[in-house]
Amino acid sequence: MFTGLVETLAMVTRLEPIGPGIGLSVRSPLVAEGTQIGDSIAINGCCLTVVEVRGDELTFEAGSETLGRTNLGMLTAGSGVNLERSLKVGDRLGGHFVTGHIDAVGTLDARREEGDWSFLWFRVPRELTRQMASKGSIAVDGVSLTLVDVEDERFSVALIPHTLAVTTLGKLAVGDAVNIETDVLAKYVARQIEFTKP
């Protein structure tokens, strides 16, 4: 479980084929400190398990399912990624509950700069917007954000200068792919409504 409050922007150092998947290595002194093999780390919002620690470099394995359902398969050495260590019992929850299980890959549909702020529209499958509401929560590439407007197949968010500076969202261009996770509470509500329909 995560909060969607990205701890650091890190860099992919290596990508190596492993069976049907890849070994994905990232460098981050902050996140590597105290991290052990078996720990869960969210990379662009996708929960992966640490399989190797070498100094400030962490290595993960991502299978074909993960690569096909997230934007991790589009990464290259040098790509920037958002990192967050898993939530510990007793930690402050400043964002919202994020599971690290990606629902779909969306794309940046439009971007408007408003001074130091940015207003972004993301296009997603229609079944996901049914789990969204204005002023509700969404995780985009692992970043907990507040929804501004929700339409049938897209939604908007307003990003403050801090978020633009310390996450991958600041450099997004129209057409770029992002990992989307809807609010887990909205998933449960949608499931209950489905079962109560006649």
pLDDT at 190 (0 to 100):
78
Question: How many CB atoms are located within 10 Å of the residue 118 CB?
Answer: 19
Task: Give the type of residue at 144.
Answer: S
Interval 89-127: pLDDT, tens:
777 778 888 999 999 999 999 999 999 999 999 999 999
**52-64 mean pLDDT:** 97
Alpha-carbon distance 81 to 91, whole Å?
23
Given this model, what pLDDT does residue 198 score? 67
CATH of the domain at 32: 2.40.30.20
Band (184; pLDDT cuts 50, 70, 90): confident
Pure H helices in the chain: 29-32, 64-69, 126-129, 161-166, 184-196
Distance from C-alpha of 82 to C-alpha of 115, rounded to nearest angstrom:
24
CA-nearest of 25, 34, 56, 42 to 87 is 42
Does any domain span residue 99?
A: no
Mean pLDDT in residue range 17-44: 96
Taking the C-alpha atoms of residue 168 and residue 178, their distance in angstroms, rounded to an integer, is 10
pLDDT in tens, 138-166: 999 999 999 999 999 999 999 999 999 99
Domain count, the chain: 2
Look up the domain containing 146 and give its range.
104-196
Q: Are residues 150 and 78 in the same domain?
A: no
Same domain for 138 and 78: no
Position 98 in a domain: no
pTM of the prediction? 0.92
Does residue 95 belong to any structural domain of this protein? no
Domain final residue pick, 53, 85, 117: 85
